A and B are shown apart, each in its own frame.
Chain A
Amino acid sequence: MDRWYDYIPSGYRLPMLLVLQELSRLRTIQDSFILVGGLSLLMQERLHHQVMWDVDLLFRDKFSILKFLALPKDPSFDIVSIDGGFADSATIVSYHTSWGFGARWINVDYFTRSKWYYFHKVTIDKRGDFEERIELEGKGINIKLPVAYPWDMFIEKALSPRLENDLAVSNDLSYDLRHVFILLEQEKENREFWDYVQKKARRFGQIRELRDRLLMILDRRQQVGYGHIRVPDSLPKTIEGWKETRELEGEG
């Protein structure tokens, strides 16, 4: 397997790519969402395992979701709402759908979390969209989508309340922990990566939270099944030394 979409189960590969193509078209009409989650990491060749992938779309706000729901979609998809309505909590608003293409269904989840849309958007505005033309089963599929940058996904996943809970109960089946440890393994010795996450978290006002969470992740890696991941001995000390203000680091 050497192409990212080879890790989508074979029967679901074409439907998934067609969903991504349709989202690319819809995005030209309404540009208020970003593709995040595990699929974003797969598309950027950070993950190399096969699971049933969902499409997670992070919207700017609840109004954008409502507007998107009302957009006419390609009639070759059957789109079914899974929820009876919006699930609203203090930190997240979500709405789940399944898009059917032939016998196969792909879950497409819409959600919004305050602040996080702009957290990702600022990087995508600088780096550009994910863009690829794929030939599969006699079809030419064009994808052009705003896809979350893997280093930003690392920060978002590390800080998520779900991951905090997974750590607390030593959930070795947690996919958030799996993604964080895969990225950690890939980037552990990359100084540019650590500079980036530190600066980004500081700008986002989350440096203390990220520092504490990363130290906890490193400390508990044995209990959650990732004790085999070796990190430089100096890494915890370096993270401990992250300061909370720009001035202290001479950035101001």
Chain B
Amino acid sequence: MGRRYEVRLSGEGGQGLILGGIILAEAAAIYDEKNAIQTQSYGPEARGGACKSEVIISEEEIDYPKATRLDLLLALTQEACDKYVGDLKEGGLLIVDSTAVERIPAGNFRVFRLPILETARERIGKALVANIVALGAIVGLSGVVSRQAIEKALLARVPKGTEELNSRALVAGLEMAEAVKE
């Protein structure tokens, strides 16, 4: 992956999307030794229920730190999906939570409906790790960073004793991606 790859994680406040973006950027910049920038917007455009975090990853120079045409959009709410899907480039990846997002807007992109929120809540037993499940799905479907890099970036952020739960969440996302990949 030499070219610029743009990811936006979107949903609502409290879903850990900003931290999810930070971990993805750290996986790329620290462990895969690529260029990466993570930003989040709190300005007037972010008002309302929507929350977004953007990550740009490239093996080349990043000439502009904001996303312009998304390669991958994660939407954990219908509102976020409706609001941001127009920024997805042709042939891009749209990953939506299968329970929270019912209507998929029309467009020339690949859609993956995944039970991210339910998996975090039911299978892992902690709704808060939906962001980590989502990271697993993003990495599994896009390959934007290596599996080893995302594992290391995650484990570098968690305190002793909670590694297992967070690792399970990441693996659940990776497996989910594996199951729907063509």
Interface residues of A (CB under 8 A from B): 9, 11-12, 49-52, 80, 82-87, 94-96, 98, 100, 102-105, 107, 165, 169-173, 175, 178, 181, 224-228
* A171 proximity list for chain B (CB < 8 A): 16, 128
CA of A104 to CA of B65, assembled, Å: 9
Q: Are B38 and A52 in contact, with the CB atoms below 8 A?
A: yes
Indicate if B46 sits at the interface (CB-CB under 8 A). Answer: yes
Q: Are A84 and B157 in contact, with the CB atoms below 8 A?
A: no
Q: Mark B40-73, 1 if CB is under 8 A from A, else 0.
A: 1111111000000000000011111110000000
Known A-B contacts A103-B60, A105-B65; the reply to A96 vs B42 at CB < 8 A is yes
* A96 proximity list for chain B (CB < 8 A): 39-43
How many B residues have CB within 8 A of the partner chain?
39
* A178 proximity list for chain B (CB < 8 A): 159
CB-CB nearest in chain A for B42: A87
Q: Are B35 and A11 in contact, with the CB atoms below 8 A?
A: yes
* B43 proximity list for chain A (CB < 8 A): 82-87, 95-96
CA of A225 to CA of B22, assembled, Å: 20
Known A-B contacts A83-B43, A96-B40; the reply to A225 vs B162 at CB < 8 A is yes
Chain B: minimal CB distance from A107 (Å) = 7
Known A-B contacts A85-B44, A87-B43, A98-B39; the reply to A105 vs B62 at CB < 8 A is yes
* A104 proximity list for chain B (CB < 8 A): 35, 62
* B160 proximity list for chain A (CB < 8 A): 225, 228
CA of A84 to CA of B43, assembled, Å: 5
Q: List CB contacts (< 8 Å) of B140-181 with chain A.
A: 156-162, 165-166
Q: Are A173 and B65 in contact, with the CB atoms below 8 A?
A: no
* B162 proximity list for chain A (CB < 8 A): 172, 225
Contact of B157 among A94, A165, A173 (CB under 8 A): A173
Q: Are B29 and A173 in contact, with the CB atoms below 8 A?
A: no
CA of A250 to CA of B30, assembled, Å: 52
Known A-B contacts A9-B30, A170-B128, A173-B157; the reply to A84 vs B37 at CB < 8 A is no
Interface residues of B (CB under 8 A from A): 14, 16, 19, 22, 25-26, 29-30, 33, 35-46, 60-66, 126, 128, 156-162, 165-166
* A103 proximity list for chain B (CB < 8 A): 35, 60-62
* A225 proximity list for chain B (CB < 8 A): 158-162
Known A-B contacts A52-B22, A225-B161; the reply to A82 vs B62 at CB < 8 A is no
* A11 proximity list for chain B (CB < 8 A): 29, 33, 35
CA of A9 to CA of B80, assembled, Å: 32
* B158 proximity list for chain A (CB < 8 A): 172-173, 225
* A165 proximity list for chain B (CB < 8 A): 14
CA of A181 to CA of B159, assembled, Å: 10
* B25 proximity list for chain A (CB < 8 A): 52
CA of A100 to CA of B29, assembled, Å: 15
